[in-house]
Amino acid sequence: MRNLLEFIAKHSNLLIFLLLEIAAVMLIVSTHPYQYSRVLTGSHRVVAGINDQGDHWHNYFHLHTQNQQLVEQNAQLLEQLSALQGNDFSYTGAKVIDMTIHSPHNHFIINKGAEDSICEGMGVSNVQGAIGIVSQVGKHYAVCVPILHTQNHLSCRLKKNRYVGFTSWSGVNSRYVELTDVARHVSVEVGDTVVTSGLTTAFEEDVPVGVVDRVKIGDGDNYQKIRVRLMVDYHQLEYVQVGQRHELD
């Protein structure tokens, strides 16, 4: 109480000024309809702004929950579709919580691990296409190697003729990889779709990988130089599915 009295005594002039200002504003507002409407409009704007920000944050956290639910539902649907096709793949939804894309040996980390049935060698994909392979697993997280890794070579096919090749990343552009081991006699054109081969336990057949962007065949070359634009934009990577074919007993 003593401190309060000392504060009032010290700042008495300022407090009297503020009280007079408030009284003057109230008097003007109460006797002048125009000023009253302006003040009322201003207060509504403030309240609306506060409510808008509140709705924004509510929607943000609600959307995060919805996205988690959707990715889990999508994983379940993929698993059901796989069973109908006789591929017997299992899927788990996950969220990317860390990632690099500018290193020759990029990685990304997901928020699911061994306690969520994640194992090394599982394939990671999203609605756009194939992304990478699980390389290390902890209890509640897993480290994955993306296609954007100079030592990760994903088995793929040209969708139109089923010819098999492998992805190879130069470590430069995060939007492109090379499709290697495609013989010069194989028909390849710009716009052809590249998909997973299904020859490993990581991915089912025909998961999109990319689209042929450029084809070159040098004199005397036995293999074509094929540049593929990836379906997945790693800059926007967020929610994924992790899958693997069930091993036969």
* Residue 245 confidence (pLDDT): 82
**How far apart are the C-alpha atoms of 109 and 134, rounded to whole Å?**
9
Do 62 and 50 sit in the same domain of this protein? no
Query: Which two tokens mark 42?
Result: 């201003």
* Residue 249 confidence (pLDDT): 46
CA 3 to mean position of chain CA atoms = 55
Quote the Cα angle for 195-127-179, to 5°.
25
- Domain containing 118 — which CATH number? 2.40.10.340
Do 38 and 72 sit in the same domain of this protein? no
Q: Which residues, 6 or more positions from 189, have their beta carbon under 8 angstroms from its beta carbon?
A: 212, 215
Do 47 and 71 sit in the same domain of this protein? no
Residues spanned by the domain of 11: 2-55
Torsion, CA 13, CA 18, CA 21, CA 22, rounded to 10: -140
Do 146 and 214 sit in the same domain of this protein? yes
Do 15 and 92 sit in the same domain of this protein? no
Do 75 and 9 sit in the same domain of this protein? no
* Residue 1 confidence (pLDDT): 58
- pLDDT by residue for the chain (249 residues), tens digit each? 556 556 556 666 665 666 666 655 565 545 555 444 454 444 444 444 544 555 554 454 455 555 666 666 666 666 666 666 667 788 899 999 999 999 999 999 999 999 999 999 999 999 899 999 999 999 999 999 999 999 999 999 999 999 999 999 999 999 999 999 999 999 999 999 999 999 988 999 999 999 999 999 988 889 999 999 999 999 999 999 999 887 644
Do 87 and 184 sit in the same domain of this protein? yes
The DSSP string of 137-172 is: E-SS-EEEEESSBTT---EEEETTT--EEEEE--SS
**How far apart are the C-alpha atoms of 246 and 181, rounded to whole Å?**
29
Do 142 and 216 sit in the same domain of this protein? yes
* Residue 29 confidence (pLDDT): 47
At 100, is the secondary structure helix, strand, or coil? coil
Query: Which two tokens mark 68?
Result: 């988690």
* Residue 44 confidence (pLDDT): 43
Sign of CA dihedral 52, 54, 55, 57: positive
The DSSP string of 194-226 is: EEE-S-SSSS-TT-EEEEEEEEE--TT-SB-EE
* Residue 36 confidence (pLDDT): 45
Identify the bridge partners of residue 167 per DSSP, sorted by sequence position: 179
**How far apart are the C-alpha atoms of 167 and 156, rounded to whole Å?**
7
The CA-based diameter of the chain, rounded to the nearest angstrom, is: 96
DSSP label at residue 114: G
Candidates 166, 174, 155; CA nearest to 104 is 174
Count up the domains in the chain and report the number. Answer: 2
